[in-house]
Structure 1
Amino acid sequence: MTAATSAPTVEGSAPVGTDYDVVVVGGGIAGLSAALSARENGATVALLERATAEETGGNTRYTEAYLRMKTVDEPSDGLAETLVDDFMGHPDPGITADSALDWSRRSPLLRSHHVVDLDYVTTFEDNAGPTLRWLEQHGIRFGQLPTLFLTVSTTRMAPVGGGLALVETLGAKARALGVDFHFETTARSLVLDDSGTVTGIEAVGPTGRRRTFSGSVVLASGGYQGNAELMARYHGELGMLCRPVARGGNYNKGEGLEMAMAVGAATAGNFSLFHAEPVDPRSGDPEAAIMAFTYGILVNVHGERFVDEARGPIDAWYERTTRDIQRQPRGMAWMILDAHGQAIPNIRTAIRTDEAPVKGATLAELAGRIDIDPATLEATVAAYNAGCPDGDWDPTRPDGLATDGVEPPKSNWAKPIDSGPFIAYPIMCANVFTFGGLKVDASSRVVDRDGRAIPGLYAAGEMTGLYYSNYTGSTSVLRGATFGRIAGEGAAAQSPSVAAPRDAEGSS
């Protein structure tokens, strides 16, 4: 094994260049999994993290880290099918017809195509359970923990302690095993040799001094939701009508994507969308989610309904509804609940903001307090109420109580808004992570635009493209861990100092 040059994480005394077997960019679940995996496979490892040690972990640090699993060993039903059935546009069937062939037999056009690799999805499903067992060996515990959804479409688990437990436990384990952490250090560009192999990273530390970290590279630095210029480039004027869902997302500025694309990396996923979540714009809390609008109505800043608030279980539909909110004037809406909605058992579970609702004894009073014309709001509610049917209202499941003769309709939980006092919460669109990312194969190798794996370059987590029209809920942390582990092992195997002893052992 090549010994890493002794280099403290304090920039002032660091050498200009440092040799490692593997260099990981990013300290969230994907990066930590990659660093641990590479170290366990015999590599010397550096982990570069833009944030301070106190804020390391990116989005992972702030998420509850729900996992689309039935048990620790078994993914939820339909995981692979849901990912593959996500609408990917209308790709040429002459190109995608060979998707079932082995990687080496596929055309270069297919290998570099933006649609999801079927082998990747299969590998994800097959390795999700073993990855959770691997995390258990490193001190992570899992359980069937409560979610913020009062109605659900799938099963979920979560790590005890959420994403913060993942960051702190795995970070401590990685340090104990000898991974070198370099905080306040931002990767700027890839280093390639004359053969096109990635051999390291150019980075900038806290003093602004540039240095080179040599080794195979795993990019795990998230998307670009913290970069206003890239948000405007890919999302136009709607880019201003959202913000990262948590503080960690502000560190995700897209350098990993840019440096890989600069050396010819192909892309996958949908660069025109991101994972959207409805949050209270007044709150500074991470994921200040408002997930109770299925039981009331949504109106825009003009006091008008604009969307079917209850097309199905909230966990399956909130993202699409949030995008509808983003397209409204000022990118905002108000959720209005009457006394019946407020009395739903556990309703506060679905309202995570630390800010109090706006209250009014009457609709007119409420309208005045949220700066909406009272007559308009009263007319909107009256039209909605007139279309609500009689029937048993069941907030625990989609009940089929749908409006009649109202535009837009409401497909479930259509109950009149007629009992004061009334409350309202503002909702805006939060950007959890961006959908567009790098194209990788089932081994987490980054693929170039000619369908070849770029030697020495791997990627994992939210910076790799997988989602297109709708986020498959509770899969982001799960795939970050799964493919981070795969990428770390693959990157370690690229190092001659790691591979040589294995080769000798195999031939003895």
Structure 2
Amino acid sequence: MPEVVVVGGGNAGFTAASTAAHRPPGAAAGKVGRGHGGRQQLLHRGGHAHRPRRPGRSGRPGRGRPPARRQRGSALLSRGVSGRPGQGHRGRNDPALTAVLVGEAGPTLRWLHAQGMRYRLLYERQAYRRPDGSHVFWGGLHVGNVGGGQGLMADHLAIADRLGVRVRYDSAVTELLHQDGRVTGVVAHLPDSEHREIPAESVILAAGGFEADPDRRERHLGPGLQPGSIAYQIFDAKLRPMLRTEEYDMPGVSVVVADTIGDLAVRIGVDPTRLTATVDDFNRSIDRSVPLDPTVKDGRAAHVVPPKSNWAAPLETGPFYAFPVTCGITFTFGGLRADTDGRVLRKDGSAIPGLYVAGEMLGGLFSGN
């Protein structure tokens, strides 16, 4: 019998499986320690993100010991989250879970790197050099996986193979086994059988959100999701070199180019008189006494409706570029309620023995956008 079954095969699932593989035999899935544990199975249907952990007492990551839970948040947490709890997530994020996420993200990345995950700095993702030679990375996106998503999964698979984690593909978990209030395994639809009961001491749910499920999207987000709705991002020749290479220069990106705003409007099917007037109003409203500085929120505003509060730059140097954009979903918000050890909680706040959650299946972190 596997000691741990992980449901999901993305970043969260593989991180959970690798962490479980370092447990001493018989330890709870949410706890960590030295040495390799018993058997783990990972049932793959997708998922992403991971629940952060940190290095051991020495402060240095190592292959033999997954990080233990950090007790205190960072200065970033106290300034940006605890101090203004409503900002960004409408005050609905759980403070204790948020403290774990913010305080342990860096140490977790170093521990994953020590296991074999490869990372690099994202210089092409709106990173700007400061006068002192350092760089600022907007959006908190400093590092990415070598090879992108494919590289992430290749690294995870290599680590799982080294640790002896068994991976089952095309295996849908349809039910949780339970006895006397404790989760004791899963029922899965495996490729070689109808349904099979897989007992386990602990089950970790890490199968991601429902962004790829059309039925659930319609049920929870509404029908249609604005089909066929297109907007255009417009830049001039001075702004074009500042755009993110990974998004605006990747193969398949659509762009319309013209020497004047009027010609651009005709090519994208917009009234040229109205677009020209809109751009002229935007250009005139910019406070040009404030220098443009992409490394900070510079306060250089365009006083239009809706206002552009920072980085307002006039569109006046041809050629002009129009990029068609539409709505998209990165991941869905909401999930199971859990404590800071990842234990799934009942409505009364008590933990369900044997059941854990990680990644986008975990609720309490994100709300709104």
Pairwise TM-score range, normalised by the shorter structure: 0.7 to 0.9
Distance 1:380 1:31, change over 3 A: same
State the partner residue of 2:123. Answer: 146
- Equivalence for 1:44: 39
Corresponding residue for residue 226 of structure 1? 212
Pick from 133, 136, 141 the counterpart of residue 113 of structure 2.
136
Distance of aligned partners of 1:125 and 1:399 in 2 relative to their CA distance in 1, 3 Å threshold: closer
Q: In 1, distance between residues paired with 2:186 and 2:142?
A: 37
Q: Partners in 1 of 2:244 and 2:90 — Cα distance?
A: 37
**Which of 346, 349, 362 is residue 451 of structure 1 equivalent to?**
349
**What is the correspondence of 1:77-92 to structure 2 with a 5 Å cutoff?**
77-79=75-77, 81-84=79-82, 85-87=84-86, 89=90
CA–CA distance in structure 1, aligned partners of residues 274 and 60 of structure 2? 51
Cα pair 2:10 2:48 within 8 Å, conserved: yes
Distance 2:292 2:48 in 1: 35
Task: Check conservation: 1:358, 1:425, Cα contact below 8 A.
Answer: yes
Matched, 1:30 2:12: yes
Specify every segment of 5 or more residues in structure 1 that has no aligned partner in the other structure, as ranges.
1-18, 51-56, 91-114, 243-329, 471-508
Q: Which of 302, 316, 323 is residue 403 of structure 1 equivalent to?
A: 302
Alpha carbons 1:149, 1:350 under 8 Å: kept: no
Distance, in Å, in 2 between the alignment partners of 1:196 and 1:422 is 64
- Alpha-carbon offset, residue 147 of structure 1: 4.7
Q: Deviations over 1:74-94 (max 9, x none)?
A: 99751465344442657xxxx
**Displacement after TM superposition at 1:121 (Å):** 3.1
Give 3-state SS (helix, strand or coil) of 1:469's partner. coil
The amino acid of 1:402's aligned partner reads: A
Q: Do the aligned residues in 2 keep the contact of 1:403 with 1:410 (CA within 8 Å)?
A: yes
Consecutive unaligned residues of structure 2, counting only runs of 5 or more, are 24-36, 62-69, 129-137
Q: 1:395 offset after TM fit, Å?
A: 4.6
Q: Sort the Cα spacing of 1:332 and 1:24 in 2 relative to 1 into closer, same or farther, 3 A.
A: same
Would you say the 8 A contact 2:12–2:206 is kept in 1? yes
* Amino acid in the other structure paired with 1:351: Y
The structural deviation recorded for 1:454 is 0.9
Q: How far 1:356 moved relative to its partner? A: 4.3
> Quick one: structure 1 residues 43 and 120, their matched pair in 2 at CA, closer, same or farther if it must change by over 3 Å?
farther
Q: Percent identity?
A: 36
Distance in 2 (alpha carbons) for counterparts of 1:155 and 1:182 = 32
What CA distance in whole angstroms lies between the structure 1 residues aligned with 2:312 and 2:106? Answer: 40
Distance 1:417 1:199 in 2: 62
| 1:169 aligned counterpart, secondary structure | helix
Q: Tell me how far 1:341 sits from its aligned partner.
A: 1.9
Q: Quote the Cα distance in structure 2 between the aligned partners of 1:146 and 1:177.
A: 33
Distance 1:138 1:157 in 2: 17
Q: Deviation digits for residues 255-306 of structure 1, max 9, x if unmatched?
A: xxxxxxxxxxxxxxxxxxxxxxxxxxxxxxxxxxxxxxxxxxxxxxxxxxxx
The answer to which structure has the higher helix fraction is 1
Task: Tell me if 1:210 matches 2:195.
Answer: yes
Is contact 2:188–2:198 with CA below 8 Å preserved after alignment?
yes
Contact 2:255–2:321, Cα closer than 8 Å, also in 1: yes
Tell me the TM-score normalized by structure 2. Answer: 0.77
Counterpart of 1:503 in structure 2 is: none
Which runs of structure 2 are paired with 1:180-259 in the superposition (5 Å)?
180-193=166-179, 195-206=180-191, 209-215=194-200, 216-237=202-223, 240-241=225-226
What is the TM-score of this pair, normalised by structure 1? 0.57
RCO higher in structure (CA 8 A, sep ≥6): 1
Which amino acid in 1 is paired with 2:203? V
CA spacing shift, 1:129–1:416, aligned 2, 3 Å: closer
Distance apart, 1:149 and its partner CA? 2.1
SS state at 1:212 partner: strand
| Aligned length in residues | 324
Rounded to whole Å, the distance in 1 between the matches of 2:235 and 2:187 is: 53
Shift of 1:401: 2.5
Question: Is 1:174 matched up with 2:174?
Answer: no
Cα distance in structure 2, aligned partners of 1:121 and 1:413:
30
Residue 408 of structure 1 aligns to which amino acid in structure 2? P
Partner of 1:314: none
| Structure 2 match to 1:351 | 248
Closer, same or farther: CA 204–148 of 1 in aligned 2, 3 Å: same
Q: Report the residue type matching 2:314 in the other structure.
A: P
Q: Which residue of 2 aligns with 1:123?
A: 100
Is the Cα–Cα contact under 8 Å of residues 218 and 457 in structure 1 kept in the other structure? Answer: yes
Shift of 1:224: 0.7
From 457, 468, 473, the equivalent of 2:367 is 468
RMSD value, Cα = 3.2
What amino acid maps onto 1:369 in structure 2? R
